[in-house]
Amino acid sequence: MTSRPAQRWPYLFVLPALLALLFGFGLPLVSVIRNSFYAGSFYRLDYVGLSNYRIMFADEVFRTSLANNLRLLLTVPVMTVLALLVASVLNTGLRGGRLYRSVVFLPYTLPAVGIGLAFSVFLQLNGGLNALLRHVGLGAVALDWLGSPDLAIYSVGAVVIWQQLGFGVVVFLAALLALPAEVSEAARIDGASWWQLQTRVHLPQIRGTVEFFVVTEAITVLSWVFTYVYVLTGGGPANASSVTEFYIWKNGFAQGSVGLANAAAVVVLALAGVLIAVYTKLRRDPA
């Protein structure tokens, strides 16, 4: 029995998408890596080898920016736990669940600039949050949330949690609704409490979804928080809330240090690549 010759014409259908990826992602990626070994302006670049990386890692502002990105990773477990709890409650058939679902998801649909502007007013020293705290007799904890070097980056993290929480709730709720009802019903008949049902029955079944959300949000706080930092704090005070994205923008556009900005972008790309590799490993080798 002779085998049929492989037909290559179906690959023509994916060729446009591959070309789009090449020109939209592949070539810019190669350009960023290449330019990280050069110094100068957009119009003239001179090869400097690894000098940009040595300068960057010796720069205290970059180290602070990278450390702030790592601090923001603390928001990932917080928003994951909160999203799981909210999704689990909504999955119980709570009356008005659709309304609550819409309210929780609404912040995720709002533009980051608008959110940043609103919270820049709400969190300032004489803003709405501190006014509320003073009104209820908690003036001792009415702090300078955006103006304090120790609090600014954590205030940015709180805003990120508020904005991203709805995405997690919708993702987890969709996964919970897709679970077979027979398994949950059998657990209830066996006497499982609500907490045991969530932690021992539901959570193991949506492990893949949780892993996807954790990796996605980790990449988000590593490479998608520039707008919040720029609008809320401008990287201040004294670079205390600067992140790697802000460092890239400041060096590449505000100061014209193209090579330094590209070197920082390579570091962010490497960190994101590590997270993607970890997720791929988890999906290939489930426990």
Secondary structure of 173-216 in the HEC alphabet?
Answer: HHHHHCCCHHHHHHHHHCCCCHHHHHHHHHHHHCHHHHHHHHHH
The alpha carbon of 219 is separated from its chain's Cα centroid by a whole number of angstroms, namely 5
3-state secondary structure (DSSP) of residue 153: helix
List Cβ neighbours of 139 (8 Å cut-off, separation of 6 or more): 133
Handedness of CA 75, 81, 82, 84 (dihedral sign): positive
Q: Whole-model pTM?
A: 0.87
Q: Would you identify the CATH topology of the domain 49-284? A: MetI-like fold (1.10.3720)
- Separation between Cα atoms, residue 204 and residue 18, nearest integer Å: 36
Q: Which candidate, 127, 132, 123, places its Cα nearest to that of 159?
A: 123
Q: Where are the domains of the chain?
A: 49-284
Q: According to the model, what pLDDT value does residue 20 have?
A: 87
Q: According to the model, what pLDDT value does residue 166 have?
A: 93
Q: According to the model, what pLDDT value does residue 170 have?
A: 93
In the structure, how many helices (H) and strands (E) does the chain have? 16, 2
In tens digits, the chain (287 residues) has pLDDT values of: 455 556 777 778 888 888 888 888 888 889 899 989 998 776 778 888 899 999 999 999 999 999 999 999 999 999 999 999 999 999 887 787 788 888 999 999 999 999 999 999 999 988 999 999 999 998 888 999 999 999 999 999 999 999 999 999 999 999 999 988 888 888 888 888 888 888 888 999 999 999 999 999 998 888 889 999 999 999 989 999 999 999 999 998 888 888 999 999 999 999 888 888 888 887 776 55
**Is the Cβ–Cβ distance between 226 and 204 less than 8 Å?**
no
Q: According to the model, what pLDDT value does residue 16 have?
A: 86
Give the DSSP H or E segment for 40: strand 38-40
